[in-house]
Structure 1
Amino acid sequence: MINDEPDARDLVAIALRSFRETILPLVPAEQRFTALMIANALATAERELAAGASAEPALAAAVGGLLGETGDLSTLAPRLCAAIGEGRFDDDEPQAALRRVLFDLTRARMAVSNPKLLAAGR
């Protein structure tokens, strides 16, 4: 049997923890900003790996429902943008459905990129 542990998420978590505990305290003040950016990038990658593909099928289904199509999110998102540009959601009812889906997409992205802001309810 192939050993799947640690997986990518575990490896990033270990790297982030090691960086914060061992490297960051030793970084000179003039390089602290860069070091904090590295820690932030690792934390974002960790959250993205944690979210994995779990939310994406539901988001793809919601976008596909608006478009009357099926597919993955990376395929459907540009089609949604084109449909918005074509005015397919200019009427009240389709616009309300579009807003709900855009809100869900934004929340999913915020959960990865800035969960503190999302938790604060801003």
Structure 2
Amino acid sequence: MAAPHDVPDATQLVAAVRQFLEADVLPAVEGRVRFHTRVAINVLGMVEREIELGPAQAAEHAERLAGLGVGGDAELAARIREGRADDPELLAALTAAVRAKIDVANPGYATP
């Protein structure tokens, strides 16, 4: 991250909190608090991946939309509602968009 922010950056801070929850908190709690700790660990993992992958994913998504000749997701949705969802380029763009979401939400879902 550029100035004025110093080390640790946002990614490192989120990783430190996630690691603390995994190593120190999770083994010490049970029941509902353990469940919510696991949820928090997963959320922080998603934030880490979005910080890391998000800018490139946004650029790639914008390129795909431009390649389809649409200015944004609303126009893309309109095209789908018009019945043009069988367009191979549109299907490829949707597949790539879903894959990007999975890569952030839970990359394990994409493993065969």
Match of 2:82 in 1: 86
User: How high is the sequence identity, in percent, across the aligned residues?
Assistant: 32
**After the TM superposition, which residues 33-112 of structure 1 pair with which residues of structure 2 at under 5 Å, given as runs?**
33-66=35-68, 68-70=69-71, 76-87=72-83, 89=84, 95-112=87-104
Once residues 30 and 9 of structure 1 are traced to their aligned partners in structure 2, the CA distance between those partners, rounded to angstroms, is: 27
How far is 1:4 from its partner?
2.9
Match of 2:18 in 1: 16
Q: Which has the higher contact order (CA 8 A, sep 6+)?
A: 2
TM-score when normalising by structure 1:
0.80
How far is 1:52 from its partner?
2.8
Structure 1 runs (4+) deviating above 2 angstroms are: 1-4, 28-31
How far is 1:111 from its partner?
0.5
Match of 1:28 in 2: 30
Q: In angstroms, what is the RMSD of aligned CA positions?
A: 1.8
Gaps of 5+ in 1: 71-75
TM-score when normalising by structure 2:
0.86
Gaps of 5+ in 2: none
Once residues 34 and 17 of structure 2 are traced to their aligned partners in structure 1, the CA distance between those partners, rounded to angstroms, is: 17
Count residues with an aligned counterpart. 110
